[in-house]
Chains A and B, each alone.
Chain A
Amino acid sequence: MNANETALLDPFEISTPDEATELSALTRALELAESFRLLFVSCNQIPQRERLMAEVRTRLPHLTLQTIFFREPIQHLLDAIQEQLTTPLPDAVFISGLEFSLPIAADAPAAPLIANLNASRNSFAQTLPCPVVLWVPEYVLTAIMQGAPDFFSIRSGVYFFAAKPSEMTELARSLLGRGYSEVANLSLAEKHNRIAALELLLSDYKSLPENQRDYKTEMRLNFQLGDLFSLLRAYDKAMTHYQRSLQLSQRLGYRAEMANLLVRIGITHQDRGEYEVALEQYKQALATFEELGNRTGISNSLHNIGIIHQDRGDFDAAMKNYQRALAIAEELSDHAGVASSLYQIGRIYQGRGEYEAALEYFQRSLAIEKKLDDRAGVASSLHQIGTIYQLCGEYEQAWQQYQHSLEIAKTLGDRLGVASSLHQIGILFTETGRYSEAFPLLLNALRTLLELQSPSASNAGNMLKELRAKWGKKDFDNAWRASTNEEVARWLLRDEGVEI
């Protein structure tokens, strides 16, 4: 037996299973099954799944096969299937789309959907008289194994299909074809779905044999993943993908991509308040863009360097950069670039107390952003317009702008944007004596800002202290005790302040 065992080890090298073999085995299983059987198909890409399902149908013309595709998140698979089951009952049911209910791979094993699968394992066999095939991406299969072991243990088979390079290229083209602004304007759920789709595709690309790897596409997939995580303020993940993309761009010698990535990496550092490192990246990017004569790149880098100057209080230098960036953007008809520079110039005027000029600039940027349907940009401009109204004492007007901006930030899943709006509304309420309403907003903003490691956290902390001074120790501390948060407490105590 021992000799036998060694002789037979080779077949277990995990190779990519052959599509024809898997397909005929799956077809066999459906032919052999006489009642409920649980089958899994591991297949990452939806178009490929659809092609395979169609193939199974042609091979089994005598069977009625019902496909149920769940595009919206579900919690109870069995209930959801029962709602859609046709009468008379089909001979087998194909289920697809579970990834839309499990957008974040790392959270998937603990998701309610998976837990419910395990709890309802017996009901499946009792309620469904025919085989059920779950067509899932590999990470969902893993989540089911880990999170629903009892459910997984009653399976009659798992069939594996690797992605086909031609289908991968097609999908990559459709995912990457559109630029940053398309990604930025996705709703929160769409962003998560896009991340899931990109991660799956990237893992398919990585599992290609060495001589068939397509590093250019991998670079671009990583780039977009970085953007998505950055928009969701998951900086560490964003950084990992940007760095990976940067490595690949260096290896492939794509200098413009390299410089663009340096800008993105710079922004990521800047969002965390690491200005020195950010500046370093921008300067390096600027040099590359100049060498390449890439004018859009030059404009972007100048603009970003301007922001760093502004954050450090060097407003004149900042203004110079914005104006140069603006001139180039106008020349190139780069509308998005124009809008962002107008916005930043508005902020400089605001800092100098020239509110009318500031308002004019914000309104110009807002108009362009509306035309471009750049919702993230619209949210920022509205927010800033709100602050101008607030500075002029027009509180009702200001509140409306913030509210509008807050709604957009929420749909986009922009936590930093949400925190900024809450913070601003909190200040507004503090100024107008609505202390008890201001308190939860400021606290909420501070929590998010601390979590995102944002340099604005100190502003929120100071505002809370101001609120305490105005509202009175007693009321504030009571409210405080009712919603204690250790992290915030520690933060506030760091420089005197609140008693707990």
Chain B
Amino acid sequence: MTEDILKKIYNACDPYVPASAEYYYDCSEARGETALGQPIQRHLAMADDYTCFLLSGHIGCGKSSELAKLSRILTAARQPHDCYFPVLIDVSEYLDDYDVSLADILLAIVTELADALRTRLGVELRDNYFTKRLNEIKGLISSDVEMEQGEISLGFAKAKVQRLKKDPTARQKVRALLEPKMSTMLEEINLVFDEARLAIRKHRLGGAPPPCSDLVIILDNLEKIRKLGTEEEGLKSQRELFLERYTQLTGMRAHFIYTVPLRLVRSADGPQLQQRYGEVFVLPMIKVIERATRHPYQSGIESMRAILQKRLGEVKLEEAFAPEVLNFLLTYSGGHVRNLMIFVQNACTYTDTIPIPLSAVQEAIKRSIRSYSTAIPESHWAKLAQLDLSSDQHIPNGDDDYLKMLENLSIMEYVNGSDEDQLADAEPWYAVNPIVRELKKFKETVGTTRLPVEAIRLPQNERE
């Protein structure tokens, strides 16, 4: 019995799978941000042109879960004008992160859209530009059996196009064919959108669900791209895609949501992103401690508990963990959902009894601490210590070391709830990952760091 329950806990807390409807829990309050759904729905309702949103956040903070949720909301709206046809594309199924071109991205969009129209509505797009191009490269992407089946139709091309991800030679040839005609390609993709729009507006399955008003194309995992064309790997490539090519990314006749790297959003280029795309949504960590004081933040801890309870299903949290053990676990997660899952899974392997004892959780967390001990570059320690000791918990704008720390999760971004002073609290603040704070080297550095002298601030009047 105990064994079965442990098995259930272990397998339910898989860090890999984004939350399905069954597992999703809305923790907007604790994140200090309203969930993605509402504001995006409002934007869509008000916009008289096609809109483009960016979504960002730490690795494993819940972006994919939020996007899946958004996609469900958009489909399920009661009012016809609020109902959309979302196409959620996991671009990592199509793209090789280390070798991406804009043509690859456009091809992924068209293919996934055609697949969604076919599987959800039974609609086939008519022969278009992309079908023709695909048939020209048929030999590169089809198996022998598929070759015998004749012409490729766009709605059935998904598996074939995804093969390009692992075949750099074929990819080069496909690009050679598509790229010289980039402006044509954009024009043609817009025609595909027009046709798709007609199809979804007409469509009515037995009259029950309202017809959808428009397309919302969601590109998840686009932030993972490391290299675009001949650009230098990393931030340079990401900059090129999201800033330099923004006219292409925003020039398509459909609503779009792209995921962008947090490091780019918080870099000196952040404000430019905002200007070019409009809204940039950043999904912060779930706040489990208060800014500056590090006191536990109850509402956040409750959210994390609720997320975990959703995962465990009929196994009650109280049955799985002793109360102080759960608190301990949640505090060390830093409000990072995927880390929490990893801790729980790992703790299961250090016990054969339930509730899971404190010692097992400590063993699990110790292993995480140990893996961080070698992964932090020497130059980061002093800066980590400075952030930890600072009173305002800001990071200097554009400091590349801090941006790297955001990327490798040695620091975490939080936003306070908007229950108090709205403007002051909308800005993000940062804290050192609780795991990193336990490292001996960190503690030693904190012991020796001298803070730069603060500029003196005039005391403010007490608020009424």
Q: Do A and B bind each other?
A: yes
B295 at the interface (CB under 8 A from A): yes
Residues of chain B within 8 A (CB-CB) of A155 are 15, 342
How far is the CB of A153 from the nearest CB of chain B, in Å?
5
Contact B362 A8 (CB under 8 A): yes
The answer, yes or no, to whether B90 is at the interface (CB within 8 Å) is: yes
Q: Which of B76-84, B102-110, B369-377 faces chain A?
A: B369-377
Tell me which residues across on chain B come within 8 A of A8, comparing CB atoms: 328, 362
Within 8 A of A (CB), among B317-368: 324, 327-328, 331, 338, 342, 345-346, 348-350, 352, 362-368
- Interfacial residues of chain B within 96-116, with CB under 8 A of chain A in the complex: 96-98
Q: Is A119 an interface residue (CB 8 A)?
A: yes
**B120 contacts partner chain A, Cβ-Cβ < 8 Å:** no
Q: Chain B residues with Cβ under 8 A from A37's Cβ?
A: 14, 345
Q: Is the CB of B15 within 8 A of A154?
A: yes
Q: Tell me if B93 counts as interface (CB < 8 A to partner A).
A: yes
Residues of B within 8 A of A112 (CB): 98
A residues less than 8 Å from B296 (CB atoms)? 1
Is A142 part of the binding interface, using a Cβ–Cβ cutoff of 8 Å?
Answer: yes
- In the complex, are the beta carbons of A145 and B375 less than 8 A apart? yes
Which of B4-12, B67-75, B412-420, B448-456 has 4 or more CB atoms under 8 Å from chain A?
A: B4-12
Contact B408 A149 (CB under 8 A): yes
Tell me if A158 is interfacial: C-beta within 8 Å of chain B: yes
A153 in contact with B367 given A1-B331, A25-B349, A32-B7 (CB within 8 Å): no
Q: Tell me if B7 and A150 are in contact (CB < 8 A).
A: no
Provided the pairs A8-B362, A142-B374 are in contact, do residues A14 and B369 lie with their beta carbons within 8 angstroms? yes
Query: A157–B371 Cα gap in the complex (Å)?
Result: 11
Given the complex, which residues of A lie within 8 Å of B98, measured CB to CB?
Answer: 112, 115-116, 119
Whether the pair A32, B11 counts as a contact (CB closer than 8 A) is yes
Cβ of A500 within 8 Å of any chain B Cβ, yes or no, is no
| Given A21-B350, A28-B352, A33:B93 Cβ within 8 A | no
Q: Tell me which residues across on chain B come within 8 A of A122, comparing CB atoms.
A: 90, 92-93
From the candidates B327, B338, B350, B374, name the one contacting A25 in the complex (CB within 8 A).
Answer: B350
Rounded to whole Å, the gap between the CB of B431 and the closest CB of chain A is: 14
Is A187 part of the contact surface with B, judged by Cβ < 8 Å? no
A425 proximal to B (CB < 8 A): no
Closest chain B CB from A13 CB (angstroms) = 7
Docked complex Cα distance between A167 and B368 (Å):
26
The B-contacting residues of A in range 281-314, CB under 8 angstroms, are none
Question: Which B residues lie within 8 Å of A361 (CB)?
Answer: none
Closest to A154 in B: B16
A156 touches B345 (CB 8 A): yes
Partner of B327, one of A1, A21, A28, A34: A1
User: A451 CA to B14 CA in the complex, in Å?
Assistant: 50
Q: Closest chain A residue to B59 by CB distance?
A: A153
* A240 at interface by CB-CB < 8 Å: no
Residue of B nearest to A40 (CB): B371
Contact A115 B226 (CB under 8 A): yes
Q: Is the CB of A12 within 8 A of B369?
A: yes
Chain A residues touching B, range: 35 or more
Interface check A118, CB cutoff 8 A: yes
Q: Would you call B367 and A157 a contact (CB within 8 A)?
A: yes
Given A4-B324, A149-B407, A155-B342: A29 and B349 interface contact (C-beta under 8 Å): yes
Could you tell me if A12 and B438 are in contact, using CB atoms closer than 8 angstroms? Answer: yes
B421-448 at interface with A (beta carbon < 8 Å): 438-440
Query: How many Å lie between the Cα of A150 and that of B59 in the bound state?
Result: 7
Which residue of A28, A35, A154 contacts B349 across the interface (Cβ within 8 Å)?
A28
Q: Is A159 an interface residue (CB 8 A)?
A: yes
Segment 360-404 of B: residues with Cβ below 8 Å from A:
362-375
Chain A CB within 8 A of B270 CB: no
Chain B residue at minimum C-beta to C-beta distance from A115: B98
Nearest-Cβ distance from residue A413 to partner chain B, whole angstroms: 27
**Interchain CB contact under 8 A, A34 and B11:** yes
A81 within 8 A of B: no
Partner of A157, one of B7, B226, B328, B349: B349
With A2-B295, A25-B349, A153-B60 as known contacts, state yes or no: A33 contacts B366, CB within 8 Å.
no
Determine if A157 and B440 form an interchain contact, defined as CB atoms under 8 angstroms apart: no
Chain A residues near B175: list those with CB within 8 A.
Answer: none
| B224 close to A118 (CB less than 8 A) | yes
The answer to whether B371 and A33 touch across the interface, beta carbons within 8 angstroms, is no
The answer, yes or no, to whether A26 is at the interface (CB within 8 Å) is yes
How many residues does chain B have at the interface if contact means C-beta atoms less than 8 Å apart?
53
Q: Are A14 and B370 within 8 A (Cβ)?
A: yes
Instruction: Give the most central of B16, B372, B408: most A CB within 10 Å.
Output: B16
* Cβ proximity bits B221-241 to A, threshold 8 Å, 1 near / 0 not: 000101000000000000000
User: Would you call A21 and B97 a contact (CB within 8 A)?
Assistant: no
Contacts of B328 in A (CB 8 A): 4, 8
Docked CA distance A119–B346 (Å): 24
Interface presence of B294 (CB below 8 A): yes
Report yes or no: B374 in contact with A118, Cβ–Cβ below 8 A.
no
Known: A12-B365, A25-B350, A142-B374. A156 touches B15 (CB 8 A): yes
A91 interfacial by beta-carbon distance below 8 Å: no
Cα(A142)–Cα(B375), bound, Å: 5
Q: How far is the CA of A115 from the CA of B97 in the complex (A)?
A: 8
CA distance A235 to B370 in the complex (A): 33
Tell me the nearest residue of chain B to A124, going by C-beta: B16
For B224, give the chain A residue with the smallest CB separation: A150
- A414 within 8 Å of B (CB atoms): no
Q: Which of A83-122 contact B (CB under 8 A)?
A: 112, 115-116, 118-119, 121-122
The listed residue (B15, B331, B367, B374) touching A5 by CB distance below 8 A is B331
For the complex, give the distance between the alpha carbons of A149 and B438 in Å: 20
Chain B contacts for A121, CB-based, 8 A: 92
Residues of A close to B96: CB separation below 8 A:
119
- Complex CA gap A218/B10 in Å reads 43
A264 to B372, CA, bound (A): 38
Interchain CA distance A33-B96 in the complex, whole Å: 29
Residue A177, interface by CB 8 Å:
no
On whether the beta carbons of A9 and B438 are closer than 8 Å, the reply is yes
Which of B348, B352, B364 has the largest count of A CB atoms less than 10 A from its CB? B348
A141 within 8 A of B: yes
CB distance from A59 to the nearest CB of B (A): 13
> In the complex, what residue of chain B is closest to A26 when comparing beta carbons?
B349
Q: Does B92 lie within 8 Å of A119, measured CB to CB?
A: yes
Q: Which residues of A contact B14 (CB under 8 A)?
A: 37, 156
> Closest residue to A27 on the B side, CB-wise?
B349
Q: Is A400 an interface residue (CB 8 A)?
A: no
C-alpha gap A21/B296 in the complex (Å): 32
B residues less than 8 Å from A28 (CB atoms): 348-350, 352
Taking a contact as CB atoms under 8 Å apart, the answer to whether B349 and A32 are in contact is yes
Q: In the complex, which residue of chain B has the Cβ closest to the Cβ of A146? A: B375
Q: Does A125 contact B (CB under 8 A)?
A: yes
**Distance between Cα atoms of A184 and B370 in the complex (Å):** 37
Pairwise interchain contact B366-A14, C-beta atoms closer than 8 A: yes
Q: A12-B369, A21-B363, A160-B367 are in contact. Are A1 and B295 (CB under 8 A)?
A: yes
- Given A28-B348, A153-B60, A118–B338 Cβ distance below 8 Å? no
Closest to B92 in A: A122
* B370 contacts A153, C-beta separation under 8 Å: no
A32 near B366 with CB under 8 A, answer no
With the chains together, A449 CA to B362 CA distance in Å?
A: 55
Nearest residue (CB) in B for A156 is B345
Q: How many whole Å from B58's CB to the nearest CB in chain A? A: 9
Chain A residues contacting B338 (CB-CB under 8 Å) are 153-154
Kindly list the 5 A-B residue pairs having the minimum CB-CB distance in the complex, ordered from nearest: A28-B349, A32-B10, A119-B97, A25-B349, A154-B16
Q: Would you list 6 pairs from A and B whose C-beta atoms are within 8 A, ordered by A residue?
A: A5-B331, A17-B366, A145-B371, A153-B59, A157-B342, A157-B349
List 16 extra interface pairs beyond A1-B295, A38-B16, A42-B371, CB under 8 A. Answer: A8-B362, A11-B362, A13-B440, A14-B440, A29-B10, A35-B11, A79-B166, A118-B224, A118-B226, A122-B92, A145-B371, A149-B407, A156-B342, A157-B349, A157-B367, A158-B346
Q: Footprint of A on B, CB under 8 Å?
A: 6-7, 10-11, 14-16, 59-60, 90, 92-93, 96-98, 166, 224, 226, 294-296, 324, 327-328, 331, 338, 342, 345-346, 348-350, 352, 362-375, 407-409, 438-440
